[in-house]
Structure 1
Amino acid sequence: MRDRSSPQPPADRFLRWVAGAAIVLLTLFVAQPYLTGLAFSERTSRAITARGDLAPAEATTVELFARASPSVVHVFVQAAAQGRALMGVDADDGDQNNGAQTGTGFVWDAAGHIVTNNHVVAAAAQGGSSVAVRLSSGAVVSASLVGAAPSYDLAVLRLGRTTAAPQPLAIGTSADLKVGQAAYAIGNPFGLDHTLTTGVISALQRRLPTSAGRELSGVIQTDAAINPGNSGGPLLDSAGRLIGVNTAIFSPSGASAGIGFAIPVDVVNRVVPELIRNGRTRNPGIGIIAGQEATAARLGIDGVVVLRVLRGSPAAAAGLRGVDPQTGDIGDIIVGAGNQPVHRLADLTAVMEAAGLGAPIELTVERDGRTRRVRVTTSDVAERRL
């Protein structure tokens, strides 16, 4: 018979030790969250870690926004009978809500002139709508429409009585812009006041159609986020100078897809003073209605097809001929202007704008397979009719 008081074999003691250790480890594993919470929980406010100086790029952006944002305003054009908007039935969604057109603008001068997009205030230009501007201080001030230039999608407002108009933005130039340099947009996307987005200038010399049936050349493309409500707001360079007026986005969804467009400041700086002086801008032209470029391209035509000629216009005086309304035969195709090739309407309008009003331009015109040169003098054709 085995003596029960005899020592256990070493193997049994080892197995018991391993089992005990495993139990201890399992217990610690199960209890670990409780023990960690008990030992490391912060039951009072944590000490604040010193931030230190902002990075140079951050400090520049912060300073730029602080300096420029007071000059940026929120523009509202509201029809007279829109009580639902006052009841807050729908949220502000940017450029259009509850029959109210909203957008952004900025202070142009010490007289309280505000620059914005024409499409933001188009309803006011047609009558029956009032315009109000919310300043960066939160004050809402009535405004009147001074003038509009649909061909450039620009408009000028003037603030009503206010204690003190904000400072105007510094003006830069778009002539020396470089692709890749920093760009900053300030506006009210989706009604959210004073929003800053940053990016770069993605491309230059883009073309953008306007509501007046013209095509604006030299447009700035940026990837700084531009959304509905940013329309009419400033695009700034890293020095805080105005280099463009944000006007459109390219997006199937209607939200920013990284492709936004701005009217170059050199155009703005030419058109806005004329709107302040005269309430309108005079557009140098020759008095033609151009055919659709997509249709001309499908027909293999390289140039501007003269669809119709305005009565009493320089084009009519020069004998230009449009499409025959009876037979549909094409008349004249403008393929050159001022020793520059003309492939599309923007090429022709660029030459006319560079020449100015009352300037002679030599056109190269194709008709019936033959090329001839025609001399025309530009004039203000904005109010001419067929």
Structure 2
Amino acid sequence: MSFFSTFLGRLVAVTLALLLLIAAWQSIPLIQSELLGWRAQPRQVTARGDLAEDEKSTVALFESRSGSVVFITTVQRGVNPWTGNPLRERAGTGSGFIWDDLGHVVTNYHVIEGATEALVSLADGRSFRAGLVGGSSEHDLAVLRIGVGVDRPPPLPIGTSSDLKVGQKVFAIGNPFGLDRTLTTGIISALNRSLPEESGRTLTGLIQTDAAINPGNSGGPLLDSAGRLIGVNTAIYSPSGASAGIGFAVPVDEVNRVVPRLIATGRYVGASLGVRIEPEINAALSERLGTEGVFVLDVEPGSAAERAGLRPARLSRDGGFQVGDVLVAIDGQTLRTPADLTRALDRLEAGVQAKLTLLRNGTRLHETIVLGASGRGAGGR
């Protein structure tokens, strides 16, 4: 027998042996199943043990607070331009929360802006047609009212925002993309943020958080670890329109100042000096002159500023620009920019006295002024 024939015979034998071994190995489970009567069974559950303490706290917070969060659907009525038939279209959705035992619901102004109707849905499935009590576009806050007869959801407990710290845990509850009563968590990322809006308004003093906030979360509560309201979720910063870890909330101290006035009068009327200020001109003058403060460009006739004798900027006889009064403090609050004056006046009420500190021709003066009501005109305060 030749070497080649011997080698080929051995190769065939080895191949057959391997094939028989593989077939035998694959048939072992079948043989075992047949011989031992095994059947496929669910695996035994491993005992989990108790939840971690922070998990227990989060669960308890959601269970105790989510019932106070509502789902808001807005509707716009109109007329079909082709047929003349009335139209009733869903305009959008948002979130809100129970403010008190009288049926008042707080949400964002932009949630209900332009709507002709609003429907408020509770956690227990009940829905109510809401009436608009009042709103402030400058604070992006609005108050609705629903007629809840029995089994009223409890109002959220109120916290404070003046003592918040970056790094604190926060919890947002809302209805992102229409998914009702969704909980997201995070921390306070920054404080006193400003956010320009498409309308031209600028929201100031905002809380920044990395808790996921998406479309539909607007108007929902931002809570601290004690379950207290510390802000109203109002906006996100995201090129894609979805959460990018940068969300903003109106601080509760502002909410607790604005909402009672909306409930009482239907609108927010802040204090006003009656001076015209321009941020860009103010920044240029401050840099050129090396002076921090708010430069008075004009004084409105009949205003608190005119009654107090404030002097505006004016053109000199030779065509030059003569600086007028520069406001540097009001009621002890330092004024460096027009935004500082806006925030300071927003915390004061019309008709009250305020102590104004100003620079006039380099001399520091103190005036007591009775503040007027804010007309909120563009560029004016």
After TM superposition, the score normalised by the length of structure 2 is 0.77
The alpha-carbon deviation at position 33 of structure 1 amounts to: 12
- Trace 1:348-367 onto structure 2 (pairs within 5 A): 348-354=341-347, 356-357=349-350, 358-365=352-359
2:306 corresponds, among 316, 320, 330, to 316
Matched, 1:144 2:137: no
- Trace 1:92-107 onto structure 2 (pairs within 5 A): 100-107=91-98
The alpha-carbon deviation at position 306 of structure 1 amounts to: 4.3
Q: Which amino acid aligns with 1:375?
A: E
Question: What secondary structure is seen at the aligned counterpart in 2 of 1:350?
Answer: helix
Deviating more after overlay: 252-261 vs 214-223: 214-223
The alpha-carbon deviation at position 240 of structure 1 amounts to: 1.0
Q: Which residue of 1 aligns with 2:62?
A: 65
- Cα separation, 2, equivalents of 1:309 and 1:156: 34
Matched, 1:236 2:223: yes
- Trace 1:337-356 onto structure 2 (pairs within 5 A): 337-338=329-330, 340-354=333-347, 356=349
After TM superposition, the score normalised by the length of structure 1 is 0.77
The alpha-carbon deviation at position 158 of structure 1 amounts to: 0.7
- Cα deviation per residue 1:113-155 (whole Å; 9 max; x = unaligned)? 001111212225xxxx112211112222011111112222111
Q: Which residue of 2 aligns with 1:202?
A: 189
Q: Which residue of 2 aligns with 1:90?
A: none
- Cα separation, 1, equivalents of 2:179 and 2:33: 44
Q: Which residue of 2 aligns with 1:223?
A: 210
Q: Which amino acid aligns with 2:274?
A: G
The alpha-carbon deviation at position 248 of structure 1 amounts to: 1.3
- Cα separation, 2, equivalents of 1:198 and 1:178: 16
- Cα separation, 2, equivalents of 1:76 and 1:28: 66
The alpha-carbon deviation at position 230 of structure 1 amounts to: 1.0
Q: Which amino acid aligns with 2:353?
A: A
Q: Which amino acid aligns with 2:234?
A: T
The alpha-carbon deviation at position 66 of structure 1 amounts to: 0.9
The alpha-carbon deviation at position 108 of structure 1 amounts to: 0.5
The alpha-carbon deviation at position 293 of structure 1 amounts to: 4.2
- Cα separation, 2, equivalents of 1:288 and 1:28: 96
- Trace 1:230-309 onto structure 2 (pairs within 5 A): 230-293=217-280, 296=283, 300=287, 303-306=293-296, 308-309=298-299
- Cα separation, 2, equivalents of 1:82 and 1:107: 33
- Trace 1:114-193 onto structure 2 (pairs within 5 A): 114-124=105-115, 129-160=116-147, 162-193=149-180
Structure 2's unaligned 5+ residue stretches are 81-88
- How many residues are paired up? 356
| Distance change (3 Å), C-alpha of 1:354 and 1:274 | closer
Q: Does the CA-based 8 Å contact 2:286-2:293 persist in structure 1?
A: no
Q: Which residue of 2 aligns with 1:52?
A: 49
- Cα separation, 2, equivalents of 1:292 and 1:135: 44
Q: Which residue of 1 aligns with 2:367?
A: 375
What percentage of aligned pairs have identical amino acids?
A: 47
Question: What secondary structure is seen at the aligned counterpart in 2 of 1:180?
Answer: coil
Q: Which amino acid aligns with 2:162?
A: A
Deviating more after overlay: 187-196 vs 106-115: 187-196
Structure 1's unaligned 5+ residue stretches are 3-8, 84-97
| Distance change (3 Å), C-alpha of 1:366 and 1:260 | farther
Question: What secondary structure is seen at the aligned counterpart in 2 of 1:78?
Answer: strand
Q: Which residue of 1 aligns with 2:83?
A: none
